[in-house]
């Protein structure tokens, strides 16, 4: 059976060249060390962001990519300040906490309410209004989809919470971070300290706490990187996009999420440049800026290049692709692509597990909304319980194993080569109605409308609106 698969592989010589190059090179780990140890978090507004962009551009030019450049765009950025959390009564105690990106700077005091992982029915205005709410990072057991932090936050605001505490549900990883909206002060707290507060509520009944944040929301600039692998003899003007965001959260190196994905994109570019004599269509290799606080980079690209997207035959999102696990695909409701991948999996003698689904929380999303056939790196054989050390200070270089960087590059480079060369490529592009229907089927139809609902809630119910909140309300958008 193995011999038959090899003999039936029409791209055998290309596969051999790609695999030999990938598995005899330390290039992705070498790049990862520079991005993480030299340039840090690469968070928008910090020096490491532009320095990392310059480094990647230099490397992509060395690999032989063409049209290598950065596209600058402005975003609603954020600058971290000191955050504190104190128990006012029935005891006195303070905790180590961190602000969540886009938190406003403000001081609030109120009774603490804890709702565990915060299932949708738990956001009860009668119970929450005028109080400070603590919710964990876990997805409630009864939910069939991932329950994102931003949705929990928005539901909390619309239930009348005046402050928000995001509790890590993993022990020993410290306070979690993650973007929210600039409406109420929001902080992250460790599992251990959150558990103490939970026990105090159980024992004493009423617990009053005070949150103080000193953060600043401000406009900043950041960048997308674009680099094209151009075939020696292109057959038409269609192209592919493969990308990962570059920015990590400011408290961490963001080694797995996202830098392992960014260096995988670089490795794909390097290897496709070595086989462009037989490549039939252009492959655009990208890193996106400012994903963690609002998918700003991918939205900016989709808007600027909207008139080109009808020629984009496929978009592959490799966010955090070099972490542990099998290197398969979450295909965003394109059964035609899954059938092809299953065929390619056999001829490649590889393991590429697949599933169909979509979520609105990474850089494939703006492409999906524009009806571009797309997929994301995934391991469908595992059940996700959360981020682990992701979005904490412990997402560091030592967590990344080169064998997973090699595997990600090996699988995805060869899949992209086949997509670029496939003549029988006809995944049906979706109509707006079909996109809406699939979003509803995935359980995100209300989720994607929450930001606008929250804006209306603020206009109707807030007598005094923080200046940064007012600016956010007037700006519009999903974040």
CB 298 within 8 A of CB 365: yes
Beta sheet of 312-317, edge-to-edge order: 66-79, 216-229, 282-288, 239-245, 312-317, 374-378, 328-331, 354-356
Reported as half-sphere exposure (CB side, CA atoms, 13 A), residue 257 has a value of 19
Lowest mean pLDDT among 32-36, 131-135, 224-228, 379-383: 379-383
b/e sequence 118-133, b meaning 16+ C-beta within 10 Å: bbeebbeeeebeebbb
Q: What are phi and psi of 78, to 5 degrees?
A: -160, 140
pLDDT of res. 309: 98
Helices (H), 2-124: 2-7, 12-23, 27-33, 47-63
Spatial distance between the Cα atoms of 220 and 189, rounded to a whole number of angstroms: 27
**pLDDT tens column, 266-322:** 999 999 999 999 999 999 999 999 999 999 999 999 999 999 999 999 999 999 999
Give 420's DSSP letter.
H
Q: What is the pLDDT of residue 478?
A: 63
- The whole-model pTM stands at 0.97
Q: Residue 479 has what pLDDT? A: 58
Ordered domains of the chain (ranges, CATH): 2-78+218-430 (3.40.630.10), 81-214+458-475 (3.50.30.30)
Q: What is the pLDDT of residues 182-219, one digit of tens each?
A: 999 999 999 999 999 999 999 999 999 999 999 999 99
Instruction: Tell me how far apart the alpha carbons of residues 131 and 189 are, in angstroms, rounded to a whole number.
Output: 17
pLDDT at 21: 99
Whether residue 114 has pLDDT greater than 50: yes
Residue 17's DSSP bridge partners are: none
What secondary structure letter does DSSP report for 363?
T
């Amino acid at each position: 059976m193995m011999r038959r698969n090899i003999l039936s592989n029409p791209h055998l010589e290309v596969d051999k060249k790609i695999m030999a190059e990938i598995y005899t090179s330390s290039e992705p780990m070498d790049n990862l060390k520079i991005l993480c140890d030299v340039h840090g978090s690469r968070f928008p507004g910090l020096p490491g962001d532009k320095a990392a962009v310059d480094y990647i551009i230099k490397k992509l030019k060395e690999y032989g990519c063409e049209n290598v450049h950065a596209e600058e765009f402005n975003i609603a950025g954020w600058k971290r300040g000191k955050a504190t959390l104190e128990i006012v009564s029935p005891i006195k105690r303070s905790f180590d906490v961190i602000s969540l990106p886009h938190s406003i700077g403000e001081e609030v005091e109120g009774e603490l309410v804890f709702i565990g992982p915060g299932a949708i029915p738990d956001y009860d205005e009668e119970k929450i209004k005028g109080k400070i709410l603590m919710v964990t990072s876990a997805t409630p057991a009864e939910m069939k989809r991932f329950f994102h932090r931003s949705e929990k936050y928005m539901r909390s605001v619309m239930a009348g919470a005046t402050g928000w505490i995001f509790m890590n549900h993993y022990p020993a990883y410290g306070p979690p971070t993650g973007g929210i909206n600039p409406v109420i002060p929001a902080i992250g707290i460790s599992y251990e300290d959150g558990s103490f507060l939970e026990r105090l509520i159980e024992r004493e009944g009423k617990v009053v706490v005070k949150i103080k944040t000193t953060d600043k929301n401000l406009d900043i600039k950041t960048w997308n990187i674009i680099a094209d692998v151009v075939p020696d003899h292109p057959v038409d003007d269609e192209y592919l996009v493969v990308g990962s965001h570059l920015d990590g959260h400011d408290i961490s190196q963001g080694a797995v999420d996202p830098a392992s994905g960014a260096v995988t994109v670089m490795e794909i570019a390097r290897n496709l440049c070595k086989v462009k004599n037989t490549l039939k269509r252009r492959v655009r290799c990208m890193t996106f800026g400012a994903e963690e606080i609002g998918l700003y980079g991918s939205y900016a690209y989709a808007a600027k290049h909207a008139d080109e997207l009808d020629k984009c035959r496929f978009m592959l999102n490799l966010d955090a692709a070099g972490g542990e696990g099998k290197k398969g695909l979450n295909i965003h409701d394109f059964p035609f692509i899954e059938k092809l991948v299953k065929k390619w999996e056999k001829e490649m003698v590889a393991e590429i597990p697949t599933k169909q689904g979509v979520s609105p929380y990474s850089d494939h999303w703006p492409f999906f909304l524009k009806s571009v056939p797309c997929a994301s790196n995934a391991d469908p054989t595992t059940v996700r319980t959360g981020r682990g050390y992701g979005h904490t200070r412990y997402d560091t270089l030592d967590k990344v194993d080169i064998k997973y960087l090699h595997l990600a590059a090996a699988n995805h480079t060869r899949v992209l080569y086949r997509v670029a060369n496939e003549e029988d490529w006809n995944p049906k592009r979706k109509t707006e109605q079909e996109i809406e229907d699939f979003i509803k089927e995935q359980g995100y139809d209300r989720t994607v409308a929450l930001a606008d609902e929250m804006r209306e809630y603020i206009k109707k119910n807030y007598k005094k609106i923080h200046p940064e909140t007012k600016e956010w309300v007037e700006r519009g958008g999903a974040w």
